[in-house]
Amino acid sequence: MPPRRISLVAEADRRIGKVFDPHIAGDVNDSQVKVAKFGEVFDWHAHEAEDEGFLVLRGRIAIDFRDGPVELDEGDFIVVPRGVEHRPRSLTNEPIVLMFEPATTLNTGNAASDLTVTALKRL
């Protein structure tokens, strides 16, 4: 049987009902590819042991760093190095973002809050 093909944007629109609720799109070795809709503002946090990659599939986002924001358009990609404090946020209505990170990575890193998701759903 061939591997499952996913239309990420269509599936995110169909199955993700709220912002900052990452869903697993697939597993790659010890990492996961996650997709989420972003909202107005997320928690400041860092991932002490993991790098985190962001690829914007639809819309525009900003990732705030303590020394200023980086804005990303559709198709833009950035890696946030481990230990770097950051805060993602949307610049358009519910942009869809693909994230690449180890499977053990908690979405809020070192900052537990109401936005922390411990049991991720799969697309």
Using DSSP's 3-state secondary structure scheme, residue 15 falls into: helix
76-109 pLDDT, tens digit per residue, is 999 999 999 999 999 999 999 999 998 888 787 7
pLDDT of 113 above 80: no
Using DSSP's 3-state secondary structure scheme, residue 28 falls into: strand
pTM: 0.92
59 or 1, which is more confident = 59
The domains of the chain, with CATH numbers, are 8-103 (2.60.120.10)
Question: Rounded to the nearest 5°, which phi and psi values hold at 7?
Answer: -90, 95
Element (DSSP H or E) covering residue 54: strand 52-58
Distance of alpha carbon 20 from alpha carbon 108, whole angstroms: 10
Distance of alpha carbon 85 from alpha carbon 38, whole angstroms: 18
